[in-house]
Chains A and B, each alone.
Chain A
């Protein structure tokens, strides 16, 4: 294990971690505010990847196509998210947990199968634009520009979210709403709109991750389940509702996965699961979670 190889693996792990974080943070944020576990998160991620693919195809796979996809597909995901929240989730807020979970779970099935219907079952490829396809030499390590870009995006998301939640008025409102919905509403704040926004934001983040990952993997059926499970692992490890926890957990899972892949390929999912189980045995609420019951 040379330092160069170590660096490459670490960067690779962080890349996956940041992609994971982008999805997981939406999941944990939605839960923290709306108290709903969105099983359809993975499906929205996949849907956005497919939409990104279509945008790229429509523009003939030119260099600019990817950037356009990056701009539009997550936005579409966000809009879809808003619609889902307004039409399907709103009637469910006062219902029992089982029903809420069933709703998002079945929504996941619907969206996932829709992608199969709309795009077919064969995997799709999205081209990586030139700038991102290059490599940077750091000492003896060869690092893909793409990886560094994704890490930068992930860090930006983290910082952006933190600033948003802690430093903006809307962020404060959201935190207040998560803490005491009744009081917040009594103060005249339109909590409904806030909820829609939060869900849409979560969907947008999913969408972003979907388009980001599209060039380095195949856009195909089943990517929703893989991502959803990893995102759940992150949220469980980090603690539901904790964005900071999701960040740390994503890094842990990403790094473990990268090293695990080197030594035990094919058992990647077992890894995340083992970490998840281990952490839950010590801290049933995750690293930074608050007891709910």
Chain B
């Protein structure tokens, strides 16, 4: 299977390179790269339904945060290790995603976007108010992972491994018959219906997968940060993977992870300058949407492409 070989090389190779590189980096840099990896998965999970599925979702934080809180609560209440907890969180978030999808996908296209936002806000309010379970506004702090996991380099390697495996899996799914069927639905849902497939079911499955991977990213984040807080499910959190995707270019596989890397750089630089992160986030998206619709990546590619052909427009 040529496809497997090439992808294993890319993902496996990348993992090994970063792992080795990590040996030479200090705690700060390890944390930065860990965050990049987690957000790359977060963004890619949204890209499944946004770029490949053609579904506009403004509520992806609902899955990221759900997975995060599931992880936090399991860490707090049980003595299970992080790995089984992450597995559980992913499964739970997938189930939650299927429920959300079943409701939202019934709606007409533009209403879908609104509904996803509404669900995300619903979750936020629940998290905020269900004090006894989620600790409300204060969030859940002081989460303990194992000794081994607590060390930056170990968590770095662990996260990279999990993310590489997850991205590989997503890659497989997107280049499978299902992945192409999903893209077909995006291109022309009527045609797919008249080919005998159930469009709703295809979208629902994609939604569940996207939710699961989003939840996994959220769980990894909580393991990384040792805390969960309501902003993880806030509607503005959903803006982050959106920005990453448009930074990188919608519906290309490497666009989302590339956008995540750019995003983290942006965050690092800007957080030092101002506390008005949401303002900057919003402004950046606006500028990108108005002037760089193909993403920074796409813009660069287009420019390079033109040079190759000789500069004529």
Contact = CB atoms under 8 A, between A and B. Distances in A.
Nearest to B54: A98
A270 interface: yes
Interface string B230-259: 000001100100100010001000000000
Given A117-B276, A284-B108, A110 B283 contact: yes
Given A240-B111, A284-B106, A116 B276 contact: yes
B286 A292 contact: no
B114 A236 contact: yes
A212 B279 CA distance: 27
A221 B50 CA distance: 29
B289 interface: yes
A235 B110 CA distance: 12
A102 B117 contact: no
A277 interface: yes
Contacts of A113: 276-279, 282
Contacts of B109: 97, 292-293
A37 interface: yes
Contacts of A225: 121, 235
Nearest to B190: A293
Contact of B278 (A112, A292, A293): A112
A193 interface: no
Chain B contact residues (Cβ within 8 angstroms of A): what range? 35 or more
Contacts of A101: 56, 58, 113
Contacts of A103: 285-286, 289-290
Given A229-B118, A232-B114, A232-B118, A110 B286 contact: yes
B236 A266 contact: no
B293 interface: yes
A148 B9 CA distance: 70
B106 A110 contact: no
A88 B119 CA distance: 28
Contacts, number: 116
| Interface residues of chain B: helix, strand, loop or mixed (majority) | helix
Interface string A224-261: 01000100110110001000000000000000000000
Contacts of A95: 293
Nearest to A286: B111
B115 A109 contact: no
Contacts of B145: none
Contacts of A106: 239, 281-286, 289
B103 A277 contact: yes
A105 B285 contact: yes
| Interface residues of chain A: helix, strand, loop or mixed (majority) | helix
Contacts of B111: 236, 240, 280, 284, 286
A286 B111 CA distance: 9
Contact of A280 (B58, B106, B113, B290): B106
Interface in B41-57: 50, 56
Given A95-B293, A269-B125, A102 B246 contact: yes
A88 to B, nearest CB: 7
A197 interface: no
A102 B122 CA distance: 21
Nearest to A98: B56
A91 interface: yes
Interface string B122-165: 10011001000000000000000000000000000000000000
A114 interface: yes
A277 B122 CA distance: 12
Given A236-B115, A240-B110, A285-B108, A109 B58 contact: no
B107 interface: yes
A281 to B, nearest CB: 6
Contacts of B56: 97-98, 101
Contacts of A280: 103, 106-107, 111, 115
Interface in A138-187: none
Interface string A255-293: 000000000001001100100110011001110010111
B122 A270 contact: yes
A236 B111 CA distance: 7
Contacts of B281: 106, 109
Contacts of B282: 106-110, 113
Q: List 4 A-B pairs, minimum CB-CB distance, nearest first.
A: A109-B282, A106-B285, A113-B279, A110-B282
10 contacts: A37-B113, A101-B58, A113-B279, A229-B118, A232-B117, A232-B118, A273-B122, A284-B106, A289-B108, A292-B108
Given A97-B109, A292-B109, 6 more contacts: A37-B110, A106-B289, A113-B282, A114-B279, A229-B121, A292-B110
